[in-house]
Amino acid sequence: MKKIGKQTFKIKDDVFIRDVYTIVGAKEGEGPLKDKFDMIVNDDLWGEDSWEKCELKFQKTAVEKLMERNKLEKSNIDLLISGDLLNQITSSSFAARDLQLPYIGVYGACSTMALTMGLGSLIIDGGFAENIICVTSSNFCSAERQYRLPLEMGGQRHMSAQWTVTGSGAVWLSNKGSGPRVKNVTFGKITDLGVKDANNMGAAMAPAAYDSIKQHMMDTGVNYDLITTGDLGTVGKGIVNKMFIEDKMSIQDKYDDCGTIIFDIEKQDVHAGGSGCGCSATVFGSFLFKKLLNNEINKLLFTSTGALHSPTATLQGESIPGIAHCIGIEN
């Protein structure tokens, strides 16, 4: 059996993370990781006539540049797995249309990077593919338009609100070569503590992060050098730490959140930190993956967190469910 414990799948054959390509916008390019991204785009629309088309271009370019850098032909890629925040995952679907690769589109909100990597790892481990590209993206302006208020309305941002990362990350998984290996994958359960405020996504997602990380640790027993969540920001990160402390399982000394890593919280006026599919994707590719390559850490628990928020459902009185997926990565 490749399943261990309640929710975790053990990757028995080699699944290597061969390379990651990251693209970000101007604000992300001014943050603490500015020297680590592969590409920084300073034009908010990048020559396109809408935010949504710009996001599509981010995702498509990330895949093309990843393939170009590694001399990969389309015939080498068995599958493209991708998703984003927009209705009908249009950025992913239209990028896949242009890329002309076999395609699976998924929706996990901001948990999409870990979700695609988890699915890709299982498919390769099952012997169904040799090379898979996993990609996701988000754009500050397109996300604000869909989930909160269009920017032209000039709405006041709450202090608990987060700044959706404009960026894309593409990951090449393969059963050949070298690099950090995916060893364990835990797909999370939806948790819902009744948060209804679209300006407080960190609080909505934090219980899911706690639940998935705790389950992964119980299932695997692995002692990780670093544990990261995707985009909880300062609010959600504090809640996760509090929940583990109350459970007498403190992870505070080796835990961080991509939403607090990508921006300078004090200087960049992002309120509670970063969010969006592009948050964990670009931090993983520019920062965490390189820590593994440089042997600064040898065992990483990479967890992407998502708020499965629907504006329509919220207007009907529904809450915001949370989800989190964990990828155990080792050198």
- For the chain, domains (ranges, CATH) are 3-174 (3.40.47.40), 181-330 (3.40.47.40)
59 vs 310: which has the higher pLDDT: 59
Confidence of residue 1 (pLDDT cuts 50, 70, 90): confident
Which one, of 70, 64, 52, lies nearest residue 96 by Cα?
64
Model pLDDT, residue 163: 80
For the segment 290-305, the average pLDDT, to the nearest whole number, is 98
Q: Does pLDDT of 260 surpass 70? A: yes
97: Cβ–Cβ under 8 A, 6 or more apart, which residues?
A: none
Confidence grade of residue 152 (pLDDT, cut at 50, 70, 90)? low
Q: Does residue 200 have a pLDDT over 90?
A: no
Percent of the chain with pLDDT over 90: 86
Would you give the end-to-end CA distance of the chain in angstroms? 23
Question: What pLDDT sits at residue 129?
Answer: 98
Residue 159 banded pLDDT, cuts 50, 70, 90 = low
Distance separating alpha carbons of residues 202 and 82, to the nearest angstrom: 23
If one compares 145 and 183, the residue with the highest pLDDT of the two is 183
What's the number of CA atoms in the CB half-sphere (13 Å) around residue 169? 29
- The CA-based angle 130-136-142, given to 5 degrees, is 160
pLDDT above 70 for 149? no
Instruction: Give the whole-number percent of the chain exceeding pLDDT 70.
Output: 96
Q: At 46, is the secondary structure helix, strand, or coil?
A: coil
Per-residue pLDDT at 150: 66
Q: What is the mean pLDDT of residues 262-288?
A: 94
Per-residue pLDDT tens over the stretch 22-70? 999 999 999 999 999 999 999 889 999 999 999 999 999 999 999 999 9
Question: Model confidence at 315, in pLDDT bands (50, 70, 90)?
Answer: confident
Write down the residue that tokens 């060893």 correspond to: 183
Nearest to 282 by CA among 35, 17, 72, 37: 37
Predicted local confidence at residue 141, as pLDDT:
86
Q: What is the rounded CA–CA span in Å between residue 309 and residue 193? A: 13
Query: How much is the average pLDDT of 301-315?
Result: 92
Rg of the chain in Å (alpha carbons):
18
Confidence of residue 156 (pLDDT cuts 50, 70, 90): low
Alpha carbons 126 and 257: distance in angstroms, whole number: 31
More confident residue, 177 or 160: 177
**Average pLDDT across the chain, whole number:** 94
Alpha carbon distance 61, 81 (integer Å): 15
Amino acid at residue number 166: T
pLDDT at 307 over 80: yes
Q: Which of 290, 70, 37 is nearest to 180 (CA)?
A: 290
Q: Residue 196's pLDDT band (boundaries 50, 70, 90)?
A: confident
For residues 203-212, give the mean pLDDT: 96
Q: What is the pLDDT of residue 153?
A: 58
Report the pLDDT value the prediction gives residue 329, as an integer from 0 to 100: 98
Mean pLDDT calculated for residue range 95-102: 98
User: Three-state DSSP class for 41?
Assistant: coil
What 3-state DSSP class applies to 75? helix
Residue 161 has pLDDT above 90, yes or no: no
pLDDT given at position 269: 86
Q: Give yes or no for a contact between 23 and 41, defined as CB atoms under 8 angstroms apart.
A: yes
Contact 34, 183 (CB under 8 A): no
Please tell me the pTM assigned to this model.
0.95
**pLDDT at res. 118:** 98
Q: What phi, psi does 112 have (nearest 5°)?
A: -65, -35
Q: Are 232 and 240 in contact (CB under 8 A)?
A: yes
Q: Where are the alpha helices (DSSP H) in the chain?
A: 51-69, 90-99, 112-125, 140-147, 201-220, 233-246, 258-261, 277-283, 289-293, 311-315
Mean pLDDT to the nearest integer, 244-264: 96
